[in-house]
Structures are given as C-alpha cells and as structure tokens.
Amino acid sequence: MFWIIFIVYSIIFGFSTSYIAKQKGKDTSIWFLIGVLLGIIGLLIVGFSKDEEDVNTEEYIKEEFNDKYLNENKTFNLTTNTKAPIDIIWNSIILNQNHVALYSEFKNISNTKIKSIIFEVECLNSFNKPVNDSINNLVEYTIQDLELLPNQYLSDELFIDLDHLPSTRKVNIVIKYVLFSNGDIWNYNQKDLIDTELHIINNEKDLNIIREFNGRDVISFFEMKEDRWICVCGRNNSVDLKICARCSRDKDKMSSTLTIDNIDRTIIEYTKEIDRKRKLEQEKSEKNKKLIAKRNTKKKRWLFSGILLIGLFLSTIYIFQVLLPEQRLAKMEENEKQRDIKINKLVNQQKYDELLQLYEEIIIATGIDNNIREGMLKIANKFIEMENFKNFKSTISLLENNDDEYKSSYKLILNEYQKENYENVTQLISEMNEGNLKSGYITEETTLIVGLDLKYDLMYSPINKYKQKVSGKKIIEYNNGELIDGNTYEFNGAYYGGTEIGWSENSYLYIGDTVNNKLEGKGSLYIKDYRYDENTFLKHYEGEFKNGRYDGEGVVFWDEEKGGTSTPVPEDITPMNKIINIKNPLIKATFKQGVVEGKYKRYYSDGTFNDSGKVDNGVQNSTKYGIDDKSDTHSDIKVPNDIKIVD
C-alpha cells in the first residue's frame, strides 16, 4: 500500500511540475522527471524560476478577398428588362473536355411566389456574334413546378447543356413568360428590353475599399440615365424605383457617393475611416495584449499557488494517511493480538461472565467487528445452555444497541427468547454465525383440533365425525428480522390401520386458514410419505374445512401407490418441508363433519371418470354401481388412550 501511494504521489507532482514548466516556456519532459524525483521541492523550484523568452512573434496574415461575383467565367446578361419579375444575376459558360454548358443564377424580385419560367437563350461567341446564325443560335427553355419565393435565388435548376452549340462563349438570356402561384402570367414585351450598361470599377484597390463599406457585391459605379439608373451591383433599374430590385440599395444614397464624378472624394473619406478604425483596432489590440499578459501572469501565480497548496495537502495526507496510520496499524495489530490472547484464555477457563465484561469494554473502545460479533454470539449460546438467561439477554441487548447492521436480527432473537422458544434462539444464532440471518423460518409449538382420521379410510363412517386435540408446530417465516405470520402447520395425527386407530408423529402438513386453533376455511392437507424422506409430504385433500374436519366442497387425491403423478418432483415450501402435488383426484364431493354427504364424482387413478352419485347418511347411491351401504359404524375400532377425543 505504501509504494502504491508513493508512486501516485510522485506522478501527481511530476505532472504538476511539467505543467508549470510549460507555462514558463521550459522543457516539460525534463521538469516532469524533476517533479517525480524531488516532489514538492521540484514544484517550488520551477514555480520561482524565470520565464523563458518568447521567441515566437505574432504574424498578421491578410486574407485575400475571394470575389464571389467576378471571375473569368462569369459574365453579365447583355440586355435587361426592368419590368421583368425575374432578375438575371449572372451567366457562366463552363468548358470541360469539349463539353459546353451554361450555368446561371436568377432571383425572384416580385412580391409573389413563382411556379414556372420560360426564357430564351441567345448563344454568342467571344466577339458577341451569333453562333451559327441569328436564328439557330436561339434556344428556348422551360422550368416548371417551382416554389420560388420573393427574393429567393434560383441556380441549381439553371444548368443547361450547350454541346450542340460548342462555339458558345457568351449568352444573352431573355425572360419570356412567368407563371405566378396565383395563376397570373407575366408576358415579355420587346419594348421593355434595353441593353445592359455597366461601368466596371477596374482598380482593385479602390474596389476593395468601396466593398468594405458597401458590401462585396459592388462591381460598378452608380449611374443615372434618362430611362433607368444603374446600381453598383450591376442591376439596371427602372427610373421610378427608389431602391435596387436586386440588392435593395438606396438610389439617393448611392447617387451622392458612388458615381464616377464623386468616387475619388468618397475613397478619400473611406480611406481616412479605414485608417481611423485600424488605429483604434491596433490600440485595442495592444491594450488586449497587455491585459492578456497581465491576466496570464495572475493566472500563473494563482495556478502555482493552487498547485503548491495541493502539493502541501497531498504531503499532509501522505504523512497522516500513510506514515502515521502504519504506526497506528502496527500498534492496533499488537493490541488485537493481546486482546485475542485474553479472550481465548477466558474461553478456555469458561469464565463467560468476565468474557462478557471484556467484550463490553472492547465495544466501547473500538466498536463491533465480525470477530467480536461471532464471539459474543457463541457465549450467548453458552448462556442458553447454562440457563443463565440474565447474561444471555445482556449479551444480545449489548449487540442490539451497538450493531446497527443486524439490529432487527437481534430483535428477532430476543422475541423468541421471551417466548421461551430456546430451540429457535439457538437456530437463529447459528444462522447469524453463518452469515445467513436475512430470511428463513422458525417454528412455534402449538395444539390443533382436527378430525379423527384425515385419510380416506373413514370418510364414509360416522366415527370420523369425532375430533381430536393434537400437538404440532406452526412454521413462521422471517425476513430481515421481521416476522411474517404464516399459515403452515405440521402436526401429529391418527389414522385407521384396518382394525384400529393408530398414531403417527408429525405426519400431517396443513397449508390454509385456522380459527381458534381449528382447521377452518380453505386449505390443503398433505400426508407424510416416508418413501422419499421424513420431510416430504403428498397432497391428500384440497378444499373447505370447518371445526378441524372436511366440511364443504373438497377434493381427495390418489396417493402414489394408486396412481397420481408418475414421476413426482418434490417442491420446496420451507427449508424443513417439501411437498408433492398429486394431480389425479380420487373423489370430488361435498363433505359434512368429516364424511361424504351429498353429491360426488369419482375417478380412476389415471384421471379418467369412474362414476357419480350421492351419499345420504352413509348410504351411497351410484349412477353406475347402484346402492351401497357404507355406513359401517366401525364399532369394533379401539381408539388409543393417548388420542384425546373432543366434542
């Protein structure tokens, strides 16, 4: 145990030291070894050492702007229809291994959802001349089943194969028809078509400055015409529009800042603003660097202090939990050795009173362990044997008051002791010593009043109306020290042996209801079968009882010799008893005061039906066999004196 704690202790200090070294720019692997070898001393050394110079310099990389709207493949439509509900944003001719395709992007600039579009593509070469001729270079396309919302872009559906016109390098698209979701159709009018005019800003530096304040889609100067105005995004708008149909920029604002005439002044103002912002950002950056450096220094101090405190804490734990406990453990082991010697001496001398006093002193000093518990239970058994009940009760009470884990079990033992069930007390103590006193069964002596013969030999004879008082025991279940009142009884009984009534001990098992120690209510009766073992019972009767006898509806079963289960398997009902439930009935009948009285049905041993009938005062009238007088009084039967007959 010592070495395990020492290794963990060293590894913790190794990692702590290497972490501080990393914060100070030092070699972590070397300082890890120093921390492992020197422990808290290595931590103090690295904590008070100077930081290494930071040889890394911060580099600022200016990211180049990746123009989304302008590249060598994208072009703008040659004509514009300012009244069309569709804006043609751009066109791109894609060349790939002699394949030619058109890729375009449209935008719904109306206020209504669009369902279908018909447009015409005019294919041109690099000189803006028609491919083939001015008729065959026109291709009409239809896009249907759209759900194009206002201000929504359309591009995925606008990929058009132009392999049949391989010379195409530019296109001009004209929107012909647009079907709206409300059923309206917009028609193309040639008069509304105008040539697209753009004054592209070619100076890349100026363009980037303008875009920083106006957005990345800026490509041209603002220009005002008689019949239209041209937005900086490239859209030719109708004169009556106040904002751009494509980008929603304000016409008046652009006219004062982004025209060819005032662009130089605007760029100067923008440049000053950029310089001002950069200066503020630089000042803010420097301020943040100082703040971060200050926070890092403070963080390192707190971190070092925290790790140092942890180190001191671990060192304290190591001292008080490893070094000192080992000394205490050695002393305790010596004390326990001396204690055990003293206990064994008192046991050998049979001085149990002194031993009880010694155990009490030990419990006050150190509490209860398994050895103390086992020893005290042993002397409790000795006190029972010696009939020293006062010391027995003192022993168990001492355990009950100091051993919370088994408190309910001691309570159960004392309960049986108060009932003077000393056999149960001995059993419970034995189970406690084996560690099994969680659940089980105990017995309680009792007397029962039952019918004279509970087998079927006298179930037609009036003599069976007698009752007898028998001795027996009630089987009671307990669970975690709590008694669960059961309904299982094992008792002695008489039986008819052919010429006289005999007597057998513990020969019957009853599971059912009782009233005033009489079998009464519903229950099942089992008879002991010694062919298995002395704890196995065969099911004999199931039904209603009254005043200790069969009374009401019931079933008598065959025993194994006359049929029943061919390969019976005993079922555990308690650790003391097993039962075999015979399946095949002998007779289903109405009983009164222990004998058959009324309707019945009889069966063969294999379970098949035999006959039915009625018994009236001992006279049986069978539907199969006729009348048979079974009212033999058995007057010659001699009942032994030890069988107590009750009224």
Residues 411 and 446 in one domain: no
Of 283, 308, 336, which residue sits at a domain end?
336
Instruction: Please say whether the beta carbons of 507 and 527 come within 8 A.
Output: yes
Least confident of 15-29, 78-92, 177-191: 15-29
Q: Give the C-alpha separation, 437 to 419, whole Å.
A: 19
Domain that holds residue 386: 350-437
406 and 496 co-located in one domain: no
The span from the CA of 639 to the CA of 647, in Å, is 15
Q: What is the pLDDT of residues 40-73, one digit of tens each?
A: 787 778 777 776 654 443 333 233 323 333 344 6
- Asked if 477 and 626 sit in the same domain, the reply is yes
Q: Where are the alpha helices (DSSP H) in 241-262?
A: 251-257
In a domain, 55, yes or no: no
Q: Give the residue from 286, 229, 222, 212 showing the smallest Cα distance to 254.
A: 222
Q: Give pLDDT, residue 21.
A: 80
Does 503 lie in the same domain as 405?
Answer: no
| Lowest-confidence region among 286-290, 467-471, 565-569, 592-596 | 565-569
| Higher pLDDT, residue 230 or 506 | 230
With beta carbons less than 8 A apart as the criterion, state whether 152 and 106 touch. Answer: no
Distance CA 321, CA 610 (A): 84
CA nearest to 470, candidates 518, 541, 538: 518
Instruction: Work out the angle at residue 211's Cα, subtended by the Cα atoms of residues 210 and 216, and round it to the nearest 5 degrees.
Output: 160
Of 614, 619, 618, nearest in space to 600 by CA: 614
**329 and 410 housed in the same domain:** no
User: For 113-158, what is each residue's pLDDT tens digit?
Assistant: 999 999 999 999 988 899 987 778 888 999 999 999 999 999 877 8
- The predicted-structure confidence for 163-214, as pLDDT tens digits, reads as follows 888 889 899 999 999 999 999 999 999 888 888 878 888 888 989 999 989 9
**Last residue in a domain, options 223, 241, 257:** 257
C-alpha distance from residue 546 to each of 343, 463, 474, 516, 592 (Å): 58, 17, 19, 11, 9
Question: Which pair of structure tokens corresponds to residue 164?
Answer: 């049949």
**Residue 64 forms part of a structural domain:** no
302 vs 631: CA distance, rounded Å: 106
Q: What's the whole-number mean pLDDT along residues 226-241?
A: 90
Is 67 inside a domain boundary? no
Average pLDDT over residues 365-391: 85
Average pLDDT estimate for 595-605: 90
Structural domain includes residue 54: no
Greatest extent of the chain over all pairs of C-alpha atoms, in Å:
146
* Ramachandran angles phi, psi of 623, nearest 5°: -70, -15
CATH number at residue 132: 2.60.40.3230
Question: Residue 368 falls within a domain, yes or no?
Answer: yes
* Alpha helices, H only, 561-637: none
Q: Are 222 and 229 in contact (CB under 8 A)?
A: yes
Asked if residues 552 and 591 have their Cβ atoms less than 8 Å apart, the reply is yes
Claim to verify: residue 149 and residue 86 sit in the same structural domain: yes
Q: How far apart are CA 223 and CA 244, in angstroms?
A: 12
* 8 belongs to a structural domain: yes
- E strand intervals along 333-392: none
Both 493 and 615 in one domain: the answer is yes
pLDDT tens-digit map of 264-301: 999 999 999 989 988 998 989 888 888 877 777 776 67
Same domain, 458 and 595: yes
85 and 163 share one domain: yes
What is the model's pTM?
0.43
Do 183 and 320 sit in the same domain of this protein?
no
Strand, coil or helix: what is 141? strand
3-state secondary structure 179-226: EECCCCEEECCHHHEEECCCCECCCHHHHHHHHHHHCCCCCECEEECC
Task: Answer yes or no: do 511 and 381 share one domain.
Answer: no
CA-CA-CA-CA dihedral for 604, 609, 613, 619, to nearest 10: -10
Residue 62 falls inside a structural domain: no
The neighbour count for residue 293, using CB atoms within 10 Å, is 10
526 and 620 inside one domain:
yes
Q: Which of 336, 360, 384 delimits the end of a domain? A: 336
Q: Tell whether 101 is covered by a domain.
A: yes
Sorting pLDDT into bands at 50, 70 and 90, what band is 521? Answer: very high
Q: How far apart are CA 154 and CA 115, in angstroms?
A: 12
Mean pLDDT of the chain: 81
pLDDT single digits (tens) 455-506: 766 677 766 677 788 888 888 877 766 777 778 888 887 776 666 677 677 6
Count up the domains in the chain and report the number: 4
